[in-house]
């Protein structure tokens, strides 16, 4: 994988001795700067160790935990992580060719200030409290999940903060492209993916609770819920693993360790020392 903040480097040779030495020295400096940038962006000095492998989830931890440098937006899921979601082509005159019953235009609905991590964590924590989520660890994991789905850049549309595909939903929906991953790890673009449209945050939280709960018909979702509300912080990773077992998301490279690390960061934003 190519990370744009790490400069490509190598041995730059020339037949002119002094110039060759200076160029090789410059190459070494670029290597050092690139390596230092990578370490700083990954937050290795202040966060637990984590695996960074996925080309989708904002190039993994780099956007979610550290980097403002670049951020392919995490998109719509169940959870199929994607690059920047693209609105379907507008009809002539700039209006969306809705046509279908229940289909609405996507409208940006950020829940906080883009890139302000503390504000985003605190604001979503308040939204969850106002909608009856009293368990603190549950709120932490729901906040982290929301950040995975929507990104620090706040690519949130129609209050679909957890990036839920339409599925059997009979309410309003919107179309937006996404990139999904099949079982072999190959990716493909779904240009007209349908997503649930919610009228406000309350509807979004209610929908989340209707899917991830202790009475779900899906064993993996019941397992996810048990870990969602578990006070043991080791449940952070188990929650994400359980969602994957239930095919909640298609990207296979955003690891449970990375999610646990994100939860760790969210707790820091909510309770700074």
Q: What is the pTM of this model?
A: 0.68
Give the lowest-confidence range in 49-63, 97-111, 184-198, 245-259.
49-63
CB contact at 8 A, 261 and 47: yes
The answer to whether position 56 is within a domain reads no
CB 122 within 8 A of CB 269: yes
Q: What is the per-residue pLDDT across 95-106, written as a single tens digit (0 to 9) for each?
A: 344 567 899 999
- Residue 239 predicted with pLDDT over 50: yes
Structure confidence by residue, pLDDT tens digits, 117-150: 999 999 999 999 999 999 999 999 999 999 999 9
In a domain, residue 15? The reply is: no
Distance between the two ends of the chain, CA-based, in angstroms? 35
Range of the domain at 204: 72-270
Q: Using an 8 Å Cβ cutoff, are 115 and 130 in contact?
A: no
Task: Give a yes or no: residue 48 inside a domain.
Answer: no
Q: How many CA atoms lie within 13 A of 162 on its CB side?
A: 25
* Cα 103 from chain centroid (whole Å): 25
Range 68-91 average pLDDT: 36
**Residue 29 resides in a domain:** no
> CA 252, 140, 219 angle in degrees (round to 5)?
50
If you ran DSSP here, which 8-state letter would residue 64 be given?
Answer: I
Q: What is the pLDDT of residues 16-48, one digit of tens each?
A: 344 444 444 555 545 554 554 444 433 333 332
The C-alpha atoms of residue 259 and residue 141 are separated, in whole angstroms, by 9
Residue 214 located in a structural domain: yes
Say if residues 180 and 250 touch (Cβ distance below 8 Å): yes
Domains identified in the chain, total number: 1
Distance CA 71, CA 83 (A): 9
């Amino acid at each position: 994988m190519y990370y744009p903040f790490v400069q490509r480097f190598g041995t730059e040779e020339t037949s002119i001795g002094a110039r060759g030495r200076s160029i090789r020295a410059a190459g070494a400096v670029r290597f050092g700067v690139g390596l230092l940038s990578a370490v700083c962006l990954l937050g290795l000095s202040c966060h637990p160790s984590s695996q960074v492998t996925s080309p989708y989830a904002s190039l993994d931890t780099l956007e979610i935990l550290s980097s403002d440098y670049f951020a392919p937006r995490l998109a719509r899921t169940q959870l199929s992580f994607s690059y920047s979601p693209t609105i379907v082509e507008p009809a002539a005159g700039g209006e969306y060719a809705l046509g279908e019953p229940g289909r609405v235009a996507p409208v940006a609905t950020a829940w906080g200030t883009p890139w302000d991590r503390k504000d985003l964590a605190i604001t979503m924590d308040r939204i969850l409290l106002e909608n009856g989520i009293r368990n603190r660890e549950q709120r932490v994991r729901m906040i982290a999940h929301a950040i995975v789905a929507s990104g620090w850049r706040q690519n949130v549309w129609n209050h679909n903060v957890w990036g839920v595909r339409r599925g059997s939903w009979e309410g309003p929906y919107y179309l937006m492209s996404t990139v999904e991953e099949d079982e072999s790890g190959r990716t493909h673009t779904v240009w007209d993916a349908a997503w649930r449209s919610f009228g406000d945050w309350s509807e979004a939280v209610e929908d989340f609770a209707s899917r991830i709960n202790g009475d779900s018909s899906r064993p993996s979702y019941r397992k996810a819920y048990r870990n969602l509300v578990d006070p043991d912080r080791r449940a952070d990773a188990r929650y994400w693993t359980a969602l994957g077992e239930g095919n909640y998301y298609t990207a296979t490279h955003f690891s449970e360790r990375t999610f646990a690390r994100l939860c760790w960061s969210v707790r820091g934003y909510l309770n700074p020392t």
